[in-house]
A and B are shown apart, each in its own frame.
Chain A
Amino acid sequence: MRGAKSAKWVVGTIVVALAATACGGSGDSSGAKSDGIVSMEIGEPQNGLVPSNTYETEGGEVIDALFTGLTRLNADNKVVNDLAASIETTDSKVWTIKLKSGYTFHNGEKVTASSFVDAWNYGANQDNAQQTNALFSHIAGYADLNPGEGKKVTTTTMSGLKAVDDSTLSVTLSASFSAFPSQLSFTGFSPLPKAFFKDPKGFGEAPIGNGPYEIKGKVKHNESISVVKYDKYPEAKDYEVKGINFKIYSNADTSYKDLVAGNIDIDDSIPTSGLATYKKDLGDRAIDESDSGVGYLGFPLKYNKYFANAKLRKAISMAIDRETIASKIFLGSRMPADDFISPIIEGYRKGACGDACTLNPTEAKKLYKESGGLPDDKLEIGYNADGDHKAWIEAVANQLQQNLGIKVTAKPFEQFATILNDLDAKKYSGVFRMGWNMDYPNMENYLAPIFSKDAIANGSNYAGYSNAEFEKDLKAGDQAPTSAEAIKQYQAADDIILDEMPYIPVYFYKLNAGYSSKIKSMRIAGGDVLWDTVKLA
Chain B
Amino acid sequence: MGRFVVRRILQAIPVLIGVTFIIFCLVFALHGDPIQALAGEKRADPNIAAILREQYHLNDPLITQYWYYISDLARGDLGTTYNGRAISEIVSERFPVTLQLSLTAFGIEAVIGILAGIYSALRKGRFIDNLVLISTLFLISIPVFVLGNVLQLEFGVKLGITPVAGIEDGWPSSYILPGFVLASTSMAYIARLTRTSMMESVRADYVRTAIAKGLPYRRVIGVHALRNSLIPVVTFLGMDLGALMGGAIITERVFNLPGIGGQLAQSVYLRERPTVVGLVTMLVLIYLVANLVVDVLYAVLDPRIRYE
Contact = CB atoms under 8 A, between A and B. Distances in A.
Contact of B172 (A16, A149, A458): A16
Given A10-B107, A46-B83, A255-B165, A250 B230 contact: no
Given A1-B290, A148-B47, A421 B31 contact: yes
A509 to B, nearest CB: 13
Contacts of A7: 110-111, 114-115
Interface in B50-64: 50-52, 54-55
Contact of A460 (B30, B43, B172, B266): B43
B173 A24 contact: yes
B152 interface: yes
Contact of A223 (B153, B233, B258): B258
Contacts, number: 189
Contacts of B247: none
B77 interface: no
A481 interface: no
A3 B297 contact: yes
A257 B157 contact: yes
B176 A17 contact: yes
A133 B48 contact: yes
A75 B188 CA distance: 55
B232 to A, nearest CB: 13
A224 B93 CA distance: 13
Contacts of A257: 152-153, 156-157, 164-165
A255 B31 contact: no
A446 interface: no
Interface string B32-57: 11001111111101111011101100
A117 B182 CA distance: 53
**How big is the B interface, by class?**
35 or more
A25 B258 contact: no
A13 interface: yes
Interface residues of A, number: 73
The secondary structure that dominates the B interface is helix
B51 A129 contact: yes
Contacts of A247: 166
Interface in A3-42: 3-4, 7, 10-11, 13-14, 16-18, 20-22, 24-26, 28-29
Interface string B94-107: 10000000010011
Given A415-B31, A418-B32, A126 B47 contact: yes
What are the nearest 8 A-B pairs in CB distance?
Answer: A222-B258, A17-B172, A21-B173, A149-B50, A417-B36, A10-B107, A261-B157, A24-B173
A40 B173 CA distance: 22
A459 B54 CA distance: 21
Contact of A416 (B41, B84, B103, B241): B41
B196 interface: no
Interface in A396-450: 413-418, 420-421, 434-437, 449
28 contacts: A1-B106, A4-B114, A13-B107, A14-B107, A17-B176, A21-B176, A46-B38, A47-B84, A133-B45, A133-B48, A134-B45, A222-B263, A223-B167, A251-B256, A254-B253, A254-B255, A254-B256, A255-B165, A386-B269, A413-B31, A415-B31, A415-B32, A416-B40, A418-B31, A420-B43, A434-B41, A449-B42, A460-B42
Interface of A: 1-4, 7, 10-11, 13-14, 16-18, 20-22, 24-26, 28-29, 46-48, 55-56, 126-127, 129-131, 133-134, 146, 148-150, 201, 221-224, 247-251, 253-255, 257-258, 260-261, 263, 386, 413-418, 420-421, 434-437, 449, 457-460, 462
A411 to B, nearest CB: 13
B253 A263 contact: no
A251 B263 CA distance: 13
B160 A26 contact: yes
Given A18-B176, A257-B164, A458-B43, 5 more contacts: A48-B84, A126-B47, A248-B258, A250-B258, A258-B164
Contact of B234 (A3, A201, A221, A253): A3
B107 A146 contact: no
